[in-house]
Amino acid sequence: MLEVLIYGIIIGSIWALVSSGFSLVFGVARILNFAHGIFFVLGAYFAILLYPYLGFFSIIPAILLVGAFGWIVYRFLISPIKQYEVMVILITLALALLVKEILLAIFKDISQSYPSLVSGLVTIAGVPVPTNRLVILGIAIVVIICLDLFIRRTKVGKFIMATSQDMEASMLVGIDVEWVYSVTMMISAILASLAGILYAQIYAVNPATAFRVLIYAFAIVILGGLGSVRGSIIASFIIGFIQVAISMFYEPRWAEIAALATIIFILIVRPKGLFGVE
Task: List C-alpha distances in Å: 166 to 84, 162, 172, 174, 230.
Answer: 19, 6, 10, 13, 19
Rounded to whole angstroms, how far apart are CA atoms 146 and 254? Answer: 34
Q: How far apart are CA 198 and CA 206, in angstroms?
A: 14
Q: Is 60 left (phi over 0), alpha (psi -120 to 50) or beta?
A: alpha
The answer as to whether 110 is a domain residue is: yes
- Decide if 99 is inside a domain: yes
- Do the domain assignments include residue 216? no
In a domain, 229, yes or no: no
DSSP 3-state of 140: helix
- CA neighbours within 13 Å on the CB side: how many for 238? 18
- The structural domain count of the chain equals 1
Does some domain include residue 246?
A: no
What domain range includes position 43?
Answer: 2-207
Cα(229)–Cα(59) distance, integer angstroms? 24
pLDDT tens series, the chain, 278 aa: 788 888 889 999 999 999 998 988 988 888 889 999 999 999 999 999 999 999 989 999 999 999 999 999 999 999 999 888 889 999 999 999 999 999 999 988 888 999 988 888 888 877 888 899 999 999 999 999 999 999 988 999 999 989 888 888 888 888 889 999 999 999 999 999 999 999 999 888 999 999 989 888 888 888 887 777 888 888 888 888 888 888 887 777 787 787 778 777 877 887 777 776 55
